[in-house]
A and B are shown apart, each in its own frame.
Chain A
């Protein structure tokens, strides 16, 4: 993919040389409505930067089907199970309406991270805040704050 077309907020501030290296592992993807991008326990061999549209994260519950517990939208990252063993998706992901995203090959990015500390730090320093946001949101939702205004 041409690094010049990669303007996702996740990539903001990335040194041009690193952006070019990352772009080597990227392809533009368009998913139709209701397309299942990945399922729980599948190999986590890709991740995505969502440019447009909404993705629902879900979990299959016996007798209840796929239960959506969160939706994520433009400007964020889809998938982080690719970073750590066992490299399997912990949840599923389905497009809610058309989704435009940049897809990265996870294994190649992981290998690059392992070889080049600067590249690895640049990636992790962008992924970790995403994890922090998800954790913060989950904690706030656990508090069930809706009882009072």
Chain B
């Protein structure tokens, strides 16, 4: 299968998550793509408009799910696609969250905004085999309550571990945490010395979260984060997503914090 050619998929379901975000499930029309694993991404084509990278936020076998926020022309078209519409898919591309590293450890999953989407498969996978990991803590931040993704799932996850949600701009009836997700790290009920952390969100949020985790005692090499750059080919050919020695589409998006740390503070990158 040529990774440069979008494979036609049909939208089989569409769920509105927030005012500007939906989760769609895509089914191949003919030959399926390999199964997407947590952390990987697809290049999704809105035919006639363009192509963008979107992380996988779940899957049913060969049917990947993608959570899409409408922020530009292509994402708006994908967001607006309805069941039955065609979407081109290339992938799966990139590295995966190392969920095997969580075995026998406490786990912190920390998300900012739509960064919860690529982490959703991590939590689902860990909960599918709950006994393998120690304590589980999910910390999720959003700008405002209405922008929080998967509220029903967060409630379900809270039956299996600590789930804390924080918003930057509370509305009148918001009774939860207010501020940045980084401020929840000290209250995470895990043993930092044996914890594994998965982090995804705006890049500055990830930098400060990693520092908060290290301050708390989580070893840097046990912090994984998902990077975002200008992915185009998805296969490490074109170089658009270069971040120093990394081609993020191929060597990322998921990398260990010690790999990313020095690169994330170089403005030229």
Q: What residues of chain A have their CB less than 8 Å away from a CB belonging to chain B?
A: 9, 54, 56, 68-76, 96, 133, 136-137, 140-141, 143-149
**CB-defined interface of B166-210 with A at 8 Å, one 1/0 digit per residue?**
101010001111111011101100000000000011101100100
Chain B residues near A72 (CB, 8 Å)? Answer: 179, 183
A136 to B212, CA, bound (A): 12
Which of the candidate stretches B4-12, B42-50, B110-118 sits at the interface with the other chain? B110-118
Q: List 29 A-B contacts (CB under 8 A).
A: A54-B177, A68-B178, A69-B178, A70-B179, A71-B166, A71-B177, A73-B186, A74-B187, A75-B186, A76-B186, A133-B183, A137-B180, A137-B182, A137-B183, A140-B180, A140-B205, A140-B208, A143-B204, A144-B168, A145-B112, A145-B113, A146-B147, A146-B202, A147-B71, A148-B71, A148-B202, A149-B117, A149-B201, A149-B202
A108 to B48, CA, bound (A): 72
Chain A residues near B240 (CB, 8 Å)? Answer: none
Given A74-B186, A74-B187, A145:B205 Cβ within 8 A: yes
Chain B residues near A144 (CB, 8 Å)? Answer: 143, 168
A134 to chain B, nearest CB (A): 9
Q: A148's closest neighbor in chain B, by CB?
A: B202
In the complex, are the beta carbons of A149 and B180 less than 8 A apart? no
Chain A residues near B143 (CB, 8 Å)? Answer: 144, 146
A56 to B175, CA, bound (A): 9
Chain B residues near A137 (CB, 8 Å)? Answer: 179-180, 182-183
Interface size on B, residues (CB 8 A): 32
Chain B residues near A141 (CB, 8 Å)? Answer: 168, 179-180
In the complex, are the beta carbons of B208 and A71 less than 8 A apart? no
B224 to chain A, nearest CB (A): 16
A75 to B201, CA, bound (A): 24
Given A140-B208, A149-B115, A96:B147 Cβ within 8 A: no
Of A54, A74, A146, A148, most buried by chain B (CB within 10 Å of CB) is A146
Given A141-B168, A149-B202, A136:B112 Cβ within 8 A: no
Chain B residues near A145 (CB, 8 Å)? Answer: 112-113, 202, 204-205
Determine if B26 is an interface residue (Cβ-Cβ < 8 Å): no
A137 to B177, CA, bound (A): 14
Q: B174's closest neighbor in chain A, by CB?
A: A68
8 additional A-B residue pairs with CB within 8 Å, beyond A70-B183, A146-B142? A54-B177, A70-B179, A71-B176, A71-B178, A72-B183, A140-B182, A145-B202, A148-B71
In the complex, are the beta carbons of A73 and B113 less than 8 A apart? no
A149 to B239, CA, bound (A): 21
A108 to chain B, nearest CB (A): 27
